């Protein structure tokens, strides 16, 4: 690779040779997710894998580890958990929706299997 530099007064051209930059190509970080229901479960895991986790960025930690209602942060290099906003409420709401859908599915299945459907569709 060469770079040409023009000087305005004498109109001389200088050519400077530069070596190409070694560019690293990074792959997308998509690890297998490990989920914990409580901070205590995560603490036990952290105790066993502390050195590995200390060397990892918080972004990668949050992609790999999911703790219900919390996200991972580091304060002065120490791994901490921070409560997530609305996570518990949204998890409870999601559980309620799943339960309602499950109940409806069971009703449709029983009704369909009995042969006398209150939900029959007429052509």
Residues 19-29 pLDDT 10s? 888 888 888 88
Look at 120 and 72; give whichever has higher pLDDT: 72
Would you give the distance in Å from CA 64 to the centre of its chain? Answer: 7
Average pLDDT of span 70-92: 83
pLDDT of residue 87: 56
Check residue 72 and give its pLDDT.
95
* pTM score of the predicted model: 0.52
Query: 2-38 in b/e burial notation, b at 16+ Cβ within 10 A?
Result: eeeeeeeeeeeeeeeeeeeeeeeeeeeeeeeeeebee
Question: Confidence class of residue 36 from pLDDT cuts 50, 70 and 90?
Answer: very high
Say which residues have a Cβ less than 8 Å from residue 7's Cβ, sequence separation at least 6.
13, 14
């Amino acid at each position: 690779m060469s770079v040409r530099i023009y000087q305005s007064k004498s109109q001389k051209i200088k050519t400077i040779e530069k070596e190409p930059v070694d560019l690293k190509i990074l792959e997308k970080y998509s690890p297998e997710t490990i989920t914990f229901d409580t901070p205590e479960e995560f603490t036990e895991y952290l105790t066993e894998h502390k050195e590995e986790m200390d060397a990892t960025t918080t972004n990668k930690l949050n992609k790999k580890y999911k703790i219900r209602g919390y996200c991972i942060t580091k304060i002065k290099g120490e791994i901490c958990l921070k409560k997530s906003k609305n996570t518990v409420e949204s998890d409870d709401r999601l559980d309620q929706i799943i339960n309602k859908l499950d109940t409806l599915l069971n009703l449709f299945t029983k009704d369909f299997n009995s042969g006398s459907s209150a939900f029959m569709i007429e052509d």
